Amino acid sequence: MTHVIITGGSSGIGLALAHIYAARGARLSLLARSLPALEAVQAELARDHRETSIHIESADVTDEDQTFAAIRRCEDAFGPCAILITSAGIVEPGRFEALSSAAFNRQIRTNLLGSVHAVRAVYAAMKERRSGRIMLVSSGAGLIGIYGYTAYCASKFALHGFADALRSEAKPHGVSVSVCFPPDTETPQFSRELEHRPLEATVIMGRVAPWSSATVALRIARAIDKGQFEVFFGWTLWALGRFGSAVKPVLNWWFDRGIRRIGGGGERP
């Protein structure tokens, strides 16, 4: 049976993907920081998908040694990783000058290096077997800069670059690398993010309803099946991904116009 490893598998898109692969009868390994959350998810998946084998590992993906050790235990339990999905991520909005160095660095370490650590743990063996699929979860914020998201955008843009370069290295060895750019998605993290999202970001991003995590996860799983490299959601993100150099100036003009209308992004009384 296919062994699927999902980082950030205890909630949101990662959990929705776990349900999809559990329904397919895959062997599932889920990584997240919170052991109680993982145990709850393990029970949920076992209840909903009785034939699925589920392994859980509490690990902080920002710690390379922890990540390596956790993935080794996953492979000891269920065999070599056939599909790796790096869904672990955090977002902490805030204007650059108000965002602490700790908060900025935490997003870079989690969103970029956390994915790199997980990939490094499985990549050599995938190359040796000449098989394996890797899906990196970026964001729509990995396609265009957004007011109040300097750290998050930096981490997600970098993840796109990492995927682009790794794809060309991996393809001759039979390893498929993909990257996806989800829009705002209904997750526990999204609810927390909205509490801290600057007004300017709310204005320029509009009031578009978030996608459901199940819908996003289904599109990701289908892209993995097809070996699709880039996965976009909605026409705006597709246009940014395909025609970014032409589309960005127009969007940036629109964003700047919206920010000026509410006071130019400066200090408000």
Of the residues 147, 156, 176, 213, only one is catalytic, namely 156
Largest CA distance in the chain: 62
Cα–Cα distances in angstroms (integers) from residue 79 to residues 70, 86, 130, in the given order: 13, 18, 15
Residue 88: is its pLDDT beyond 60? Answer: yes
Rounded to two decimals, the pTM is 0.92
How far is the C-alpha of 228 from the C-alpha of 160, rounded, in Å?
Answer: 14
Of the residues 10, 11, 87, 138, only one is catalytic, namely 138
pLDDT number for residue 245 = 86
pLDDT number for residue 264 = 55
Q: 71 with 77: CB under 8 angstroms? A: no
Of the residues 152, 176, 178, 213, only one is catalytic, namely 152
How much is the mean pLDDT over the chain? 92
pLDDT number for residue 188 = 82
Nearest to 83 by CA among 117, 51, 118: 118
pLDDT number for residue 171 = 97
Q: Residue 201: CB partners within 8 Å, gap ≥ 6?
A: 93, 146, 147, 148, 149
Residue with tokens 């077997």: 129
Residue 69 pLDDT grade (very low, low, confident, very high; cuts 50, 70, 90): very high
Domain positions in the chain: 3-261
What would the pLDDT profile of 4-45 be if each residue is shown by its tens digit? 999 999 999 999 999 999 999 999 999 999 999 999 999 999
What would the pLDDT profile of 149-159 be if each residue is shown by its tens digit? 999 999 999 99
Whether 152 is catalytic: yes
Query: What is the arithmetic mean of pLDDT over 232-248?
Result: 90
Whether 131 is catalytic: no
- Quickly list H helices, the chain: 12-23, 35-48, 64-78, 101-107, 114-129, 150-170, 188-196, 199-205, 213-226, 234-261
pLDDT number for residue 207 = 66
What would the pLDDT profile of 97-136 be if each residue is shown by its tens digit? 999 999 999 999 999 999 999 999 999 999 999 999 999 9
Residue 253, amino acid: W
pLDDT number for residue 197 = 85
Residue 76 pLDDT grade (very low, low, confident, very high; cuts 50, 70, 90): very high
Cα–Cα distances in angstroms (integers) from residue 161 to residues 122, 132, 158, 178, 197, in the given order: 19, 20, 5, 11, 26
How far is the C-alpha of 21 from the C-alpha of 19, rounded, in Å?
Answer: 6
What superfamily would CATH give domain 3-261?
Answer: NAD(P)-binding Rossmann-like Domain (3.40.50.720)
Question: Between 140 and 258, whose confidence is greater?
Answer: 140
Whether 213 is catalytic: no
Residue 269 pLDDT grade (very low, low, confident, very high; cuts 50, 70, 90): very low
